Structure 1
Amino acid sequence: MDKGVKPKKLNVATNIRCEDARQLRDLIRVIEARGAHGEGKVYNITNREANAAGIKQVRVSDRFSWKPIDGVKAWAVAFTLREYLSVPEKAEKREKTPEPVAQKSEGTAIAPKQPDAEPQTAVAVQEPQTMLESILHKIDEALA
Structure 2
Amino acid sequence: MTLLLLDGTPIQGKGLKITANLRIEADDMSGQTSNTEKAHKGFKPKTLTVTLNIPYTNAGWLRDLMRLAEATEGGGQLKTYRVVNDTAAAFGMRQVQFAEGVSAREDDILTMWRIQFGLTEKKSNPEKVEKRSAKGTVTAQSGTGSVVGGAGSDGNGTSGELTGFEATLKKVDDWLGGSK
Global fold match (TM > 0.5): yes
Matches within 5 A, 1:78-97: 78-97=116-135
Aligned to 1:55: 93
Q: Choose which of 14, 24, 30 in structure 1 pairs with 2:68.
A: 30
Amino acid at match of 2:114: A
Aligned to 1:133: none
Q: CA deviation at 1:124?
A: 5.5
Amino acid at match of 2:60: R
Query: TM-score with structure 2 length normalisation?
Result: 0.59
Report the secondary structure of 2:75's partner residue. coil
Q: CA deviation at 1:105?
A: 5.8
For residues 116-137 of structure 1, the C-alpha deviation after alignment (integer angstroms, 9 at most, x for no partner) is xxxx994359xxxxxxxxxxxx
For residues 36-90 of structure 1, the C-alpha deviation after alignment (integer angstroms, 9 at most, x for no partner) is 2333211100101100110111111123100122232211111011111221111
Task: Give the CA RMSD over aligned residues.
Answer: 2.5
Between structure 1 and structure 2, the one with the greater Rg is 1
Aligned to 2:152: 110
The whole-number CA distance in structure 1 between the counterparts of 2:102 and 2:63 is 13
Query: TM-score with structure 1 length normalisation?
Result: 0.72
State whether structure 2 residue 110 is matched by structure 1 residue 72: yes
Task: Flag the 1:122–1:49 CA change in 2: closer, same or farther, 3 A.
Answer: closer
Amino acid at match of 1:102: A
The whole-number CA distance in structure 2 between the counterparts of 1:123 and 1:63 is 72
Amino acid at match of 2:81: Y
Task: Flag the 1:62–1:39 CA change in 2: closer, same or farther, 3 A.
Answer: farther
Q: Which moved more, 1:59-68 or 1:104-113?
A: 104-113
Aligned to 2:27: none
Aligned to 1:14: 52
Unaligned runs of 5+ in 2: 1-38, 164-180
Aligned to 2:42: 4
Q: Which moved more, 1:65-74 or 1:93-102?
A: 65-74
Higher relative contact order, chain-length normalized (CA < 8 Å, sep 6+)? 1
Number of residues paired by the alignment?
120
What is the aligned-residue identity percentage?
A: 35
